[in-house]
Chain A
């Protein structure tokens, strides 16, 4: 019965699919016409820049370890500060990331995460604000003033928001001790990378 029914509907389904295929508009994979390209540029820039990605991940994991309230605070403060820093940076003439300061963020956030530091909500907020302002400023100066800079910045901030939301939410619901230790190990890796960055910075001097 079921089989005969589906067989009888097959031509109808085929017709609908056929019509949809013919009605399809041109693919806009490269996003030239939609104007969404700069959004994805910003998004991918963040996801492919470990010097931005790792401290944000460390902060998100740290906030997640401290609980949902810290996660929510980081989720909104960090992108907001990043946007503010970015807008200031867009107007700035020039600036470059100092490797020692970048290493400092790795060390600080990775170290706090590895130590499972019991931070207050105020400290988490301050860390999120400072990190967002610093990295947003650097991104803004890197972009410079152009027609698409603000859109790129928006994409970047969207990526920050999504990463913090996912990472903090994932960690906030972890209760198994081994899982929380795995998160702390990630923190020690980030801090260790920061120490080596510091060494690289001194090496070049």
Chain B
């Protein structure tokens, strides 16, 4: 009975998820610029590969570390990142943002590659520090004339979705081959971070 229900749910989810991803923006009752604000905000975090690598790496590392890191990081990260974004919007300078972002991909990727297991507080501080760099970069890059609230919601939700992608991929950690695959993915993230660091320095 339960298996049959799961099969039905899986089948429906298989149909619904692609539909959701293909859905266009609803313009039934938009206020001026609102729909554009959400979509632009949603696209912003996923438009830069450096951000994508770091966000997914957070999810991968959380999955490797297991509970409670797997849920603490997705709860804490958006708020710390938004704090960085707020600083950026307010014009508070933060030196070396590009280096910080590239370093985040290198270190988070390396943490996944070597399955580093620091104390939870240290992992949270490390991820939180990088979150401020990412948030600040987003905050200073926000285009003028957007609907601030919807832009922010799209931006935060997209970031959360990237974490969810990392955590979902990280679910393979329970298998031996999955652990090796995760470590390989960590290596890819770290290599990407080195590339972005080279670009930032050059």
Question: A residues bordering B, Cβ < 8 Å?
Answer: 44, 48, 50-51, 54, 99, 102, 111, 114, 178, 181, 184-185, 187-189, 191-200, 202-203
User: Given A184-B75, A199-B87 in contact, is the A51-B82 Cβ separation under 8 Å?
Assistant: no
Question: B residues bordering A, Cβ < 8 Å?
Answer: 28-30, 71, 74-76, 78-79, 81-83, 85-91, 139, 148-153, 155-157, 160
Task: Return the chain A residue nearest B154 by Cβ.
Answer: A193
Cβ-defined contact, B149 with A195, below 8 A: no
Judged by DSSP, the binding face of B is helix
Which of A54, A102, A195 interacts with B86 by CB under 8 Å? Answer: A195
A34 to B150, CA, bound (A): 34
- List the B side residues contacting A199 at CB < 8 Å: 82, 85-90, 139
Cβ-defined contact, B160 with A185, below 8 A: yes
A132 to chain B, nearest CB (A): 20
A193 to B82, CA, bound (A): 7
User: Given A185-B160, A188-B74, A188-B79 in contact, is the A196-B29 Cβ separation under 8 Å?
Assistant: no
Cβ-defined contact, B89 with A188, below 8 A: no
B42 to chain A, nearest CB (A): 12
Cβ-defined contact, B82 with A196, below 8 A: yes
User: Given A188-B79, A199-B85 in contact, is the A193-B71 Cβ separation under 8 Å?
Assistant: no
Cβ-defined contact, A50 with B90, below 8 A: no
